[in-house]
Amino acid sequence: MAGYRDTLNLPKTEFSMKADLARREPERIAWWKERDLYARLREARRGGPVWLLHDGPPYSNGHLHMGTAANKIWKDAAVRQANLMGYDSPFVPGWDNHGMPIEVQVGKELRASDPSVDRLALRRACREYAAKWVAIQRDEFERLGCWGDWRRPYLTMDSQFEASILEAFAGLATKEFIQRGQRSIHWCPTDRTALAEAEIEYQDDLSPSIHVLFPLRRDPRGRLERHAPLAAVAWTTTPWTLPANLGLMVDPAARYVVVRDRGAHFLLAEPRLPAVRDAAGWTEAAVVERLPGADLVDTVFEGPWGGDSRVVDGTPFVSMEDGTGLVHTAPGHGKEDFQVGQRAGLAVVCPVDAAGRFTAGAEPFVGRSVLEVNDDIIAWLRERCRLLASAVITHPYPHCWRCLQPVIFRATDQWFMIIDHAGHRGRALDLIETRVRWDPPTSRNRIRESVRLRPDWCLSRQRAWGVGIPAIYCDTCGTVLLDPAVMRRAADVTRAEGSDAWYTHPSGYFVPAGFTCSTCGAKGPFRLETDILDVWFDSGTTHRGARAMHAELDRTWARADQALLGTPPGAAIASPAAAGGPDGSPEGPTPRIVYFEGPDQHRGWFNSSLMVSAGLTGQAPYTDVLTHGWVLDARGRAMHKSVGNVISPAEVIAKYGAEIVRWWALATDWRSDVRVGDEILQRIAEAYRKVRNTFRFLLGNLYDFGPSQLLPHDRLTRVDHAFSEHLARRLAELKQDWETLTFHRALDGLLQVCTVDLSAVFLDVSKDRLYTLAPDDPARRSAQTVLWEALHDLVIAASPALVFTAEEAWLAHPGLVAESPSVHLARWPERDMRREADADWPFLLAVRDAVNAAIEPLRASKELSTTTEADVTLRVPPSVAERLAGYRDELSGFLIVARAEIIPDPAASEPSVEVRRTRWAKCERCWSYREDVREEGGVCGRCTAALAALTKR
């Protein structure tokens, strides 16, 4: 070809083979920022139907890990596809700033230099620390190519946001959801604070398992006294709770027995007799009395610390699966104990202080940590003959999410949101069923269970870094007051001055003039509450606070609210498919408020947001809740520093580029767990190269082509037309994958089009025409028309995922830039498809496969070196021949053979192919074997014409 090389239309493009992502991505991000493209996208979509993804705020400490990176990438792809389809889809990122993790970290650093650091100094340092990490994480999220209003994020420590928290609290208080009271709650003795349900992690611990004896004191019915000496047997795994024992629960409907063993009498539930007999090593164990649990209620036994232990109805908490059927009850140390104790009129005893040390009443263990005292208590019981049996078992014990230390139950005065107030729980459950789409659908069960079972929400924390609870105490009578005027004032002052104001002003700054205590009538003095709000309450109000901070978000959200208000129950959630696009149903499109987080948020953010929103307005805060899986290592294990299997996004970006992190995150269905490891990343980098090279090939062959040269579809060659139809079908599939947020299928589809449809077939088939025909030969322009559509559509279809590469490819062709200055401002292309179900492209591929299969053995035996040397004869059924007839002129080009002959054969059920070496000569320019090549070293007629066209120019 050497002599003719300059006469060929060889590919030209600046879009390089080598991606050099790690270096070029930051330049692209700067380029986007200079042009303020996110703002231009917002401008272009404003007023469209609302598809609003509300960012769940990550906590502002530490660098991103693969989980936080994946979460933001999924959200980014979701928002991008919505914008692509024409929705008004803003993204306002947020951060959760208050709370213990930062306070603990900052407190440690501060106290190292100044042990007497005060609350305000600590709060100031926490604020600086949070701001520092917001800035770091923002850069890291932006580095991943995520678009959003990064200059105006919402921050829970912003004074506008803090005021909105206080208003939400005041709203709930006004509706009488908020109460202060004594409760037995999870308490971290290490961090010295109450913990919410979402802050508890269970892990298996070794625990003592002991059977304790409670000697009989009084039996009002007199049935037990004749068996004296008699003791009730109770089982516990927390010996340290025994000093607070006030009762024994029974199941009134169960059967209990008095058992005699070697002269002593024991009371326990009959179904538990075999297990207790084994544990205690009883040899005789004769049943001397049977009685129903109901007959035991109000019997009094002697508690381990000498107090009365009264039998109470323990329905439904008495199990016959473990223990003895008589449950040790310490209302100060257990949720169920507390509940049953309240019902049965038991007092609450809690001889344990905030640090988890015994106080008066737990002699001789006063001052000891309850977490270290179990063995000594067991020995103490044994000395007093109160121990029937003792063993060690493994069972799940609650731990603090923060310090990972074991937590205890402790009765303290706390602020609560009462979940069953005014039918709230039922309303929340109803919203879950009728107003929200849950994806995957199984996540509905998880949120339903977690709302059904959740206890009242403990809102108070005895910490410094958060929003102060706007309550006041009357110094005269001690009453605590939640007054609307005080709460409103607290919100206003906070909006103007920030939440420090609660701690810097005297109470008179918040208490209006003339205010009197509603209990005792005193005019003062009043004292301000020092407890802060649970950080989960902050994040539970983001659907209000983010709007308070961002006027444009608020306007978009308000349009969604308005549309949703007019929607009857059920209609809004008919089905994701029925929800339709911007041009959807005649009723108009359904606005969406989307939450997209990990599975722990059924107890956390999904839950807290629903509690606040349903409490305040009776509405769900969202229409769609998407729950993704966990990010794990290549072997399916959680990533931990201690295991040494942590992969950080920064490392992957440095080695492969953010584009590969994005493809990785999107390549696995987010509805399941997602794994990451070197091999996985290498595979993705390989797939990336294939897509990149396809873009490069398309661009290379379109250097002299643009939209003005597009041929109408009726002037395409038949083969090109069939392929263009096929592409349109593929594109429709891709669209559906994006719209259903089935990202992995969209990327699979993209890769398939690039490798299977284009690289392996169409590009091969069209090369000859592209390179050798005269530049404006209709057959070449036809191929280019199809390549143009492929480039245009595929770059757009790749853009929610491959944000950098799609942009690079887009900018590499002036025809694309003319349509839109950035691919990320483009709209999804709609292509017409013929209605026929039996598309021709798969049919043509089947013919091609049959021919290649027949040629392959000849190539293997070196009889032919390429398919171009082959003459093929196809014997096919007449119906196939008829269908192929329209392609007759293009068939040899499509099959890349010298000559293709079709013979209709009524006897043939399958096509059969004969292959011979062609007798035609090879054209020296196009390397095809053609009938009109007159001599060795000559050129074909087609090439002669092409050369003539070139000289005419």
431 or 923: CB nearest Zn ion = 923
Distance CA 302, CA 306 (A): 6
Query: What is the nearest approach in angstroms of Zn ion to the Cβ of residue 788?
Result: 25
Please state, in angstroms and rounded to a whole number, the distance separating the CA atoms of residues 425 and 177.
12
DSSP secondary structure letter of residue 590: P
Nearest CA to 409 among 240, 659, 233? 240
| 877, amino acid identity | P
The nearer residue to Zn ion, 427 or 527, going by C-beta atoms, is: 527
Smallest distance, Å, CB 404 to Zn ion? 7
In contact, 266 and 233? CB cutoff 8 Å: yes
**Which C-beta is closer to Zn ion: that of 413 or that of 830?**
413
Instruction: Write the DSSP string, 549-578.
Output: H-HHHHHHHHHHHHHHHTSPTTGGGS-TTT
Q: Nearer Cβ to Zn ion, position 110 or 403?
A: 403
Give Cα separations from 228 to 218, 219, 312, 383 (angstroms): 11, 11, 21, 21
Compare residues 288 and 520 and give the one whose CB is closer to Zn ion: 520
Report, in Å, the least distance between residue 516 CB and Zn ion.
Answer: 8
Residue among 216 and 471 whose Cβ is closer to Zn ion: 471
Residue entry with tokens 């401008």: 43
Distances (CA, A) of 618 to 542, 548, 614: 16, 20, 4
Q: How far is the CB of 508 from Zn ion (least distance, A)?
A: 16
As measured in angstroms, the least distance from the Cβ of 932 to Zn ion is 9
Provide the minimum distance between the beta carbon of 398 and Zn ion in the complex, in angstroms, as a whole number. Answer: 11
Residue pair 603/398 in contact by the 8 Å Cβ criterion: no
Give the pairing type, strands 308-313 and 247-250: parallel
Residue 23 to residues 668, 690, 810, 896: CA-CA distances in angstroms? 26, 20, 19, 41
Residue 403: CB minimum distance to Zn ion, A: 3
For residue 194, which amino acid is it?
A
CB of 922 to Zn ion, least distance (A): 9
Residue closer to Zn ion by CB (options 461, 792) is: 461
Using the minimum distance from each CB to Zn ion, give the nearer residue, 78 or 408. 408
Please name the residue that has the structure tokens 């987010």. 670
Whether residue 396 is preceded by a cis peptide bond, meaning omega within 30 degrees of 0, is no
Residue 760 DSSP label: I
Residue 928: C-alpha distances to residues 15, 334, 682, 936 (Å): 29, 87, 39, 13
Residues 297 and 313: beta-carbon distance below 8 Å: yes
In the three-class reduction of DSSP (H, G, I as helix; E, B as strand; rest coil), residue 916 is classed as strand
740 within 8 A of 579, measured Cβ to Cβ: no
- Between 267 and 943, name the residue whose CB sits nearer to Zn ion: 943
Distance (Å, rounded) from C-alpha 307 to C-alpha 1?
Answer: 105
Nearer to Zn ion, 37 or 947 (CB): 947
The dihedrals phi and psi of 389, each to the nearest 5 degrees, come to -160, 155
Residue with Cβ nearer Zn ion (479 or 740)? 479
Q: Could you give the CA distance from residue 879 to residue 396 in angstroms, rounded to a whole number?
A: 70
Instruction: Work out the widest C-alpha separation in the chain, in whole angstroms.
Output: 125
472 or 943: CB nearest Zn ion: 943
- Nearer to Zn ion by Cβ, of 53 and 773: the residue is 773
Q: Between residues 170 and 472, which has the closer beta carbon with respect to Zn ion?
A: 472
- If one counts every other C-beta atom within 10 angstroms of the C-beta of residue 717, the result is 23
How far separated are the first and last CA of the chain, in Å rounded?
A: 22
Q: Which is nearer to Zn ion, 696 or 925 (CB)?
A: 925
Of 425, 411, 428, whose CA–CA distance to 348 is shortest? 411
Tell me which H or E stretch contains 160.
Answer: helix 159-174
Positions that interact with Zn ion (CB under 5 A): 188, 190-191, 400, 402-403, 474, 476-477, 479, 517, 519-520, 522, 923, 925-926, 940, 943
462 alpha carbon, distance to own chain's centre: 30
Least distance in angstroms from the C-beta of 860 to Zn ion: 27
493-497 own/partner pairs: CB under 8 Å, 24+ apart: 494/159, 494/162, 494/163, 494/166, 494/467, 495/159, 495/160, 495/162, 495/163, 496/159, 497/159
Cα torsion 488, 490, 493, 498: sign: negative
Of 190 and 740, which CB lies nearer to Zn ion in the complex structure? 190
> Using alpha carbons only, what angle is made at residue 80 by residues 604 and 545, rounded to the nearest 5 degrees?
40
Q: How far is the CB of 594 from Zn ion (least distance, A)?
A: 33
